[in-house]
Amino acid sequence: LLADLYIEKGRKVVSFWTMGFNQHYRGTWVNEQAYMVHLLLGKQAKPGNGAFSLTGQPSACGTAREVGTFAHRLPADMVVANPK
């Protein structure tokens, strides 16, 4: 069973999910549950363990978030005055 894999002490677990979770009418709840499974089992924020939501289309948000396109921007759309 999948549960047996998650509770095995020495096993590292990474969970990935996409639109089926994220766009469901209970998407917030189901995302929280996925993260809670990892937290409760001690399989979050440790090398080789974690829960990861794969969001959006390839360039919808990805270019901005994952590769640092907006690294020169601060919250409230303020620009970094000194790029160094």
* pTM tops 0.85: no
Query: Is pLDDT larger for residue 43 or for residue 18?
Result: 43
For the chain, the domains span 12-79
- Residue 4's H or E segment, with its range, is helix 2-7
Q: Please report, as a single letter, which amino acid is at residue 17.
A: W
Could you give phi then psi for residue 53, rounded to 5 degrees? -90, 120
- 51-75: per-residue pLDDT in tens? 988 876 655 555 565 566 666 676 6
CB 34 within 8 A of CB 70: no
What pLDDT score does 35 carry? 92
Average the pLDDT over 17-41 and give the result.
88
pLDDT at 56: 64
pLDDT at 63: 58
Copy the structure tokens of residue 8.
Answer: 């095995």
Q: Are 29 and 36 in contact (CB under 8 A)?
A: no
